[in-house]
Every structure is written in C-alpha cells, then in structure tokens.
A = this chain, B = another copy of it.
Amino acid sequence: MRSLLLSLLVFISTNIFAQSDEEVLRDFYTHALEEQQSYRWLGELCAIGPRLAGSEGATEAVKWAMKTMESMNFDTVYLQPVEVPHWVRGEEEARFGRFPLSVTALGGSISTPEGGITAQVVEVSDFSMLDSLGELGLLEGKIVFYNYPMKQHYIKTFHAYSDAVKYRWMGAAKASEYGAVASLIRSLSTRIDDFPHTGTMTYRDVKTKIPGGALSTMAAEWLSVQLKRQPDKKMLLRLESEDKGRTTSYNVIADLYGSTYPEQIMVLGGHLDSWDLAEGAHDDGAGCVHSMGAAQLIMDSDVALKRTLRVVLYMNEEFGLDGARTYAQMTHDQRHVLAIESDAGGYIPRGFSFDTDSITLEKIRRFQPLFLPYGLFEFTNQGSGADVGQIQDANAILGGLRPESQRYFDVHHAATDVYAAVNARELEIGTASIAAIVYLMDFYDTFKPQD
C-alpha cells in the first residue's frame, strides 16, 4: 500500500513537472527564435574582425564581452588575466613554377627566410611513407607535402578531424627530422575549395625548426597531379610570420548567483579568441553567444536557478588553452557541479555529449524526450570540450553541445568562417537547448553526489 501510494505520488508529481518542463522549454525555444538575441550579438562580435589571442581584435572582443555582459542582469562580471602568445602572420605565397597556390602558415610556424624557400616538393600520403622516404635520405632539402585527406566516410566529421589532425600538429616536426626544409599539409577540410585552413602545430623538441603551412584542398589536388608529371620542378614557398612573445589578455566571466546553493557553480563556456583568417563566427563566436544567450533566456524566464550560473568566455583556446588553464588554477577551490561547452559551431544541435560516469549519464538521458520536439536526440558519452576539460573538479559533470557537424570543417580555421555562414535559427535553437539542459539539471539536481 505504501509503495502504491509512493508510486502514485511519483506519478502525479512527475506528470505535473513534466507538463511544466515542457512549457519552460517551449518558452526558451520560442523566445530564442523570436528574439534572436544570440544571433544579433554574434553580428556585433563578428563586426570586430578576427580575434587571435594577443591581437587588437581579441582586446576589442574582451571589451565588447565585458560591456555586453555588464548590460545584462548578472550579479557580477569580471576579467581574469591570462598570459597568451602573440604570433602574427605576414605575407604568404606558394608558387609551383609560375602557378600560384593558395597557402597559409600554420599557427606558430616560424617564418621562411627572406625571399622564401625554393625547393623540390615530395608528396607523402602519411607518416609511414614519410618514414620510408626519410630513411632513404630522400627528404633532405625538400618541401614535404602531406596529402592526407579527411576521410569522408565518418558520419561525424570530428572523427575525420581526429584522424587527420596529426599531420597538422606534428607534420613539420617529423619532416624536419629527415632534413626537410618546410612542410605543407592538405587543409583539414571535408570540402574541395580554394581556402586554406590554419590551426596550431608543435615543434616539440626538434633540433631544427622548419616552417609549416597548409594548402587549400583544391591546390593540394592540383599539386598532386602536377608532381606526377613534373617531380623535379621547384616550389617557391614564402610564409612570413613573427613571434612577438607573450602578452596579457583576459577571460571574461559573469556570475548569476544561485538561490539555494550559490557555492555550487554551473559553467557555460565558449572561447572568445578565433583564428586570424576570419571572424570566427562558428569557431567560436557561436559558443560565446550560445552561453551568453542561454543565461539571458534564463534571466528573462520565471526560472530561478538553485545554483550559480557562470558564463566563462575563455581566451586563447586555439593557441594553447591558456584561458582554460588559468581559469582552472584560479578556481581550484571552488565547487563546480557542471560545465557545458559550446565549441563545435552554430549549426543545428543534435544533442549533448558528456564526460561523466554511466549512472549520471543515464539520469541525464531521462530528459531526452523533452528535447525530441526540438530535434536533439543524442545524449552520448563522447567528451565535452577543450576548455571545460581543464576543470579539475572530480565532482563536475563536463558536457558539450553537439551540433550537426557536416558543414563545420567547410569553414573551420579558414576565411570562410564568417557571420553569413551562420543561420540564425540553427544558432538560436542551440542557445535554447543549453538553457534547457541547465534548467533541467539544476531543477532535478542531476549532479554527482557531492562530498
């Protein structure tokens, strides 16, 4: 009898809550789609231009974020100083005979010498071929060209990126071990076009640093054909850049205090810096305005969160995660229960992924039916994000918004990552989805047991 009563009570209260949750979510999505506040903010942020850490654009973006979040109803908005690198791209050129190829330097590449490098190009399909040719001494004095395409068969393009990114990250370092004078990769793009894509590279502990660049996928295809016909022809490669040392920038942080457990923190985060080739509309302007917009939706609703909602706009995700590391150090004595990152673009969301135990994930999955009308169906155990991943609090659930990934690597780190590539409705559905998951997890205390 008692268990029947309990079941009934649970049934009734669940139903009451379920109805109410549906209404809360409908309000979030309706409000987001009608107001388009995230999209309008993204327009302002993109108008600043590129925001590479250390650049004037990044400084402007910090000011814009501070001013904008101060105009919202947060309890506090503050800056957290972060030491960041300041690397500056110069002139760039690649010519195969008289034909120009679209090229760009990878982030952190040293400059080619005055007048550039003129050398034969050796195409390799992968590291194994590099090793074979290198051990025969065939790469000495050559420009190594890694023509490794992102694999099309992965349904989620991030898997193709994970598979191919090692050539960008280590290609120059490994080629230099065999005496190569420069390294070029085929841009990490799932599309054939003429825009080169940049991104970080490492020199690790190499003896001789050589410049590293990326050709557009179209230039890579063209060069590959030409090299079969004219393997001895030389390429002129000029990738100018300057390492200006380190400078100070900022994470921009805003707190909305919780009503019941203000000491428990729920982070919404994106990174404010972008690459220098474009406005970084998807990467990661979208994540910044997703986070700000979700906070705004909650402020504009009748929802009173029990825990503190914190928006963190990280500085320098792209070039060393400095902001995330600084944030983690500075807040190591604070109690984080949740951190949701958006750093996979402003495309239509398919769900969320979490770095957490399976019991917690099962609890979160119970919310899935509430999200189905909005097209979010995946609640997976596939990781969170680079920035929130730095949070060391074992009690924190780390998560990430998972937008549709088909178009992401069309624009990622390239000149095509501009405001016009973002669809207002897709972006806003992401904003509302973040507000919704935070509301549900806070309301139903869907967290790990605290100490």
Q: List residues of chain A with CB under 8 Å of any chain B CB.
A: 29-30, 33-34, 36, 152-153, 155, 157, 190-191, 348, 350, 372-375, 377, 404, 406-407, 410, 423-426, 429
Contacts and interface: CB of A to CB of B under 8 A. Distances in A.
A377 B377 contact: yes
Given A155-B374, A155-B375, A407 B429 contact: no
A429 B405 CA distance: 12
Contacts of A429: 155, 406
A404 B375 CA distance: 9
A157 B424 CA distance: 13
B155 A424 contact: no
B155 A404 contact: no
Given A33-B152, A190-B425, A406-B423, 13 more contacts: A33-B153, A155-B373, A155-B429, A157-B425, A348-B348, A348-B404, A348-B406, A350-B375, A404-B404, A407-B423, A407-B425, A407-B426, A410-B423
A207 to B, nearest CB: 40
Contacts of A155: 29, 373-375, 429
B153 A191 contact: no
A193 to B, nearest CB: 10
B425 A152 contact: yes
A24 B122 CA distance: 39
Contacts of A410: 423
A153 B375 contact: no
Contacts of A33: 152-153
A372 B378 CA distance: 9
Contact of A406 (B152, B377, B425): B425
A47 B418 CA distance: 27
A374 B29 CA distance: 25
Contacts of A153: 29-30, 33-34
Contacts of A36: 152
Contacts of A425: 152, 157, 190, 406-407
A424 B191 CA distance: 8
A270 to B, nearest CB: 20
Contacts of A157: 425
Nearest to A33: B152
18 contacts: A29-B155, A33-B153, A34-B153, A36-B152, A155-B374, A155-B429, A157-B425, A190-B425, A191-B423, A191-B424, A348-B348, A350-B375, A404-B404, A406-B423, A406-B425, A406-B426, A407-B425, A410-B423
Contacts of A377: 372, 377
Contacts of A350: 375
Nearest 4 CB-CB pairs, A to B? A30-B153, A33-B152, A377-B377, A406-B425
A40 to B, nearest CB: 11
Nearest to A377: B377
A143 B429 CA distance: 37
A176 B74 CA distance: 54
Nearest to A156: B375
A153 B35 CA distance: 10
Nearest to A428: B152
A348 B190 CA distance: 15
A153 B407 CA distance: 24
A388 to B, nearest CB: 24
Contact of A152 (B34, B190, B373, B407): B34
A102 B423 CA distance: 22
A423 B407 CA distance: 7
A410 B350 CA distance: 21
Contacts of A373: 155
A155 to B, nearest CB: 6
A96 to B, nearest CB: 26
A350 B350 CA distance: 10
Nearest to A34: B152
